[in-house]
Amino acid sequence: MSSHILIGPADEKIKTMLSQSDPIEAIRSIQQDYGLDLAGMEASYPLLDLCGYSRLDIHMAVLNQLNHAVITKINSPSFQLENFYDIFERTFPYIHIPQMQPIPMALLEKFERHVDDDILEKLKDDVAVFENCPLNIKKRIWKKDETFFQKQMLSLLNDYHHDEGLQALAMNLKPDSYQEVIEQRRTHPIMLRVMEIIGGDPTLYVMFMEMIRLVFIATPYPSLCSLRVDILMNFHDRDISEIYELDKCHRLIWSLDTCVRNQNMDEAIISKIKECFDDVKNGTPLYGDFAMVLMDPMISNFLSSCIVRWLRNSVDDDAPDNLEELINYNAKLINLAQHAQTAVTHNTKIAKLDKDLKSRYWTSLCKVIVTENTPITNANSLPSLDPALARTIQDLLEKNEVARKVFVQYLLDRVYENDIGTLSRCLHLIVATRPDGAQDGLAILHTHTYKAFTLTLINALSRKHLLDCVTDRKWSQIVIEGFLLKAVEWEVSIHERFILLLVEIFCDPKYYMALAAEHIATIEEWSNICASRGIHNEKVKSLHNVYSTLLIRSGQILEGRLQLRPQAVIDFCRSTEDEN
């Protein structure tokens, strides 16, 4: 057996051997000189060859068994510090080779406290090696270099923000169960990974919270606020007091979490929330943290739904005297969320609640409420709001996130209550006040709110009014043609979800059996409008699939009598065939 070790940087040695002699002979020589030095091994090779095993298969199986045996020994009580130094010195040079990593990684994990800083620097410099390091080693490296920690965690935040399941939860303004939303968010794999990384380490928790703040300053997305809330509540639920007692947002988050879980907000809980703001000055970093907490969609949506409920109660003759105070306090909290980016970035005072909300907007919404369920007698002559009332509402919708959040909650209530008359008078105001494409903090919230409203609206139509939207002229004219066919130009996710809504019509006999020829023609027309005007951007492949599903499904039922043939859709599918 050769005394040389053919491992690690052996490329040149192998090239030399292959170039200076017959390659077949060189390979045989390498196998003989550097093969397994075991009694009877040479006699075993031919039998293993007949069984179809290559030398690589054989040697890797032996290496895996050796790794397992050595790691078992390392993890045993008898393996002490004096053994560590000897074996680590001999195995660390090969840690960059995946097959050789298990032993030095096991040593690093068990003897982390005795690993020198220069070793940590070498581990950090090789990203592939660092990724496979045990968590206790990673934590030491992260705590020594916060910039490196932030770079490592950035991809995790990005994955969290773009996760489709989490996005769907954030976009649902009317969940069936807030308990289920909370459960799904706080047990999500990315969330659990974050919890694993932080563990019970207060230093890492503070570093992660600071990182969320820094990312939020650049990209103030509500998803970061959700992550901030859920991490703390997970530590609270696990009773890791070293973490949650450290966070000055704990009492506020806990109080709001209780409200959302119980779907209740009364004077008692509002008093507890007010106490959280005692001695917290507007314009301080903690005030900015509070703003981020309130910007979590689950919390801000709940607060706005409470305002709608209180506004509705306020028009009753026996309305409680304190409703105005409750409405304005919730509006103040949503207003704080609206200005979260400014609060976090500059630590400047947040503007007070717009006086027009209290003096004009609430009154205007109450006037709309008292005219609810006004019947539509003629689909060709739809009712409209009083012009002055419409101007007031539109003015506030254009400039104020509190007004928008309350308004979309109110309209969704009207959808669930089958109030097509109120939708006729109000739905167009969403179209008139959609954001202009700017992407500052306020515009991001504006876009998020309207996108969430539209997707929630489509889900509500799917559950309650799918057939109405096709066969009832009032619903098709007001909701589909007056709103959704315009909304498909705003967001590709809206475009895709609307086509899926049309697909649903051809998946259930209770829908497609009620369709007449004119209804098929209407669906074809809608499909053509979507394919021609709907936004495509990066989801061409996904749109191709949903459009193809619409064409295929419509032709599979009733012997093809309901087959859709929208030309713009057919052209779109053909043009995107190669991309798909």
497-531 per-position pLDDT tens digit: 999 999 999 999 999 999 999 999 999 999 999 99
Could you tell me if 257 and 233 are in contact, meaning their C-beta atoms sit under 8 angstroms apart? yes
Q: Please tell me the distance from the alpha carbon of residue 562 to that of residue 455, in angstroms, as a whole number.
A: 27
Check whether 133 has a pLDDT greater than 90: yes
DSSP state letters, 217-282: HHS--HHHHHHHHHHHHHHHHTT-HHHHTT-TTHHHHHHHHHHHHHT---HHHHHHHHHHTTT--T
d(CA 180, CA 184): 6
In this prediction, residue 10 has a pLDDT band, given cuts at 50, 70 and 90, of low
Integer Cα distance of 453 and 408 in angstroms: 6
CB 222 within 8 A of CB 448: yes
Q: How confident is the model at residue 208 (pLDDT cuts 50, 70, 90)?
A: very high
What average pLDDT score do residues 356-378 get? 88
In this prediction, residues 163-191 reach a mean pLDDT of 95
pLDDT grade, residue 2 (50/70/90)? very low
Burial track 63-101 (b if 16+ CB lie within 10 A, e otherwise) = eeeebeebbeebeeeebeeeebeebbeebbeebeeeebb
Residue 52 phi, psi (nearest 5): 90, 15
Q: What is the mean pLDDT of residues 399-416?
A: 96
pLDDT score of 439: 63
Q: How many helices (H) and strands (E) does the chain have?
A: 37, 0
What pLDDT score does 493 carry?
Answer: 94
Q: For residue 48, is pLDDT > 80?
A: no
**451 versus 383: which is more confidently predicted?**
451
Residue-wise pLDDT for 271-292, tens only, equals 999 999 998 999 899 999 999 9
CB count, 10 Å around CB of 367?
Answer: 15
Average pLDDT value for residue range 523-542: 90
DSSP secondary structure letters along 474-517? HHIIIIIIIIIHHHTTT-HHHHHHHHHHHHHHTT-HHHHTT--H
Across residues 395-416, what is the average pLDDT? Answer: 96
* The pLDDT value given to residue 1: 37
| Domain coordinates in residue numbering, the chain | 1-35, 40-144
Helices marked H in 315-416 — which ranges? Answer: 323-338, 340-346, 355-356, 362-369, 387-399, 401-416
Cα 312 from Cα 324, distance rounded (Å): 12
Give percent above pLDDT 90 in the chain: 75
Using the predicted structure, report yes or no on whether residue 390 has a pLDDT greater than 60: yes
The predicted structure's pLDDT at residue 192:
96
Query: pLDDT category, 38, cuts 50, 70, 90?
Result: low
Rounded to two decimals, what is the model's pTM? 0.86
Q: Which residues contact 308 (CB under 8 A, 6 or more apart)?
A: 406, 409, 410, 413
Q: What are 471-496's pLDDT values in tens digits?
A: 999 999 999 999 999 999 999 999 99
pLDDT digits (tens, 9 = 90+) for 299-348: 999 999 999 999 999 988 777 888 999 999 999 999 999 999 999 998 88
How much is the pLDDT for 537? 77
CB contact burial 469-500 (16+ within 10 A = b; e otherwise): bbbeebbbbbbbbbbbbbbbebbbbbbbbbbe
pLDDT tens-digit readout, 212-267 = 999 999 999 999 999 999 999 999 999 999 999 999 999 999 999 999 999 989 88
Min mean pLDDT across 190-199, 337-346, 537-546 is at 537-546
The pLDDT of residue 44: 76
If pLDDT is split at 50, 70 and 90, which confidence band does 60 have?
confident
Sign (positive or negative) of CA dihedral 51, 53, 58, 61: negative
- For the four alpha carbons of 209, 211, 217 and 219, in that order, the dihedral sign comes to negative
Per-residue pLDDT at 540: 87
What does pLDDT average to over the chain? Answer: 90
Better-scored residue on pLDDT, 104 or 380: 104
Q: In the block, which residue shows the tokens 């989490």?
A: 166
> Packing angle between helix 285-295 and helix 202-218, nearest 10 degrees?
80
Please give the pLDDT value at position 555: 93
Question: Distance (Å, rounded) from C-alpha 213 to C-alpha 575?
Answer: 44
Would you state the pLDDT for residue 580? 55
pLDDT of amino acid 396: 96
Higher-confidence residue: 351 or 432? 432
How confident is the model over 365-382, as a mean pLDDT?
80
Mean pLDDT of 18-47: 72
Q: What is the mean pLDDT of residues 535-555?
A: 90
Counting residues of the chain whose pLDDT is more than 70, the rounded percentage is 93
Residue 61 — very low, low, confident or very high, per pLDDT cuts 50/70/90?
Answer: confident
